[in-house]
Amino acid sequence: MLKRAHAFYEGRVQGVGFRFTVAGAARPYNVTGFVRNLRDGRVELVAEGEEKEARAFLGDVSASMAGYIRSEDVSWHDHVGEFDDFSVRFV
């Protein structure tokens, strides 16, 4: 089943290569979407794909950046299909 994950990460998540680590972590997974810094200091991540694939991807993000993440908030939605790839966005 195709799903959309919308996640927000708080902690020391800006200025530590978080977005580029996330983009690298997305490569082996069949997910599309984006990651970007927010002005309030959080990082936003949107990923679409098979739910199992998206959950595994988010698990890798959490594991690889655990030392920087203080909290994460993930919500699940219906797949929209608006992305062609996974990218880093710049505000």
Q: Which are the catalytic amino acids?
A: 19, 37
C-alpha to C-alpha distances, 56 to 16, 38, 49, 82, nearest whole angstrom: 22, 24, 11, 21
Per-residue pLDDT tens over the stretch 18-39: 999 999 999 999 999 999 999 9
CB-based contacts of 67, cutoff 8 Å, min separation 6: none
The CB-side HSE value for 74 (13 A sphere, CA atoms) comes to 17
Q: pLDDT tens string for the chain (91 positions)?
A: 999 999 999 999 999 999 999 999 999 999 999 999 999 999 999 999 999 999 999 999 999 999 999 999 999 999 999 999 999 999 7
Residue 15 tokens, joined = 């200025």
pLDDT of residue 91: 72
Report pTM.
0.96
Alpha carbon distance 12, 5 (integer Å): 21
Residue 74 tokens, joined = 């993930």
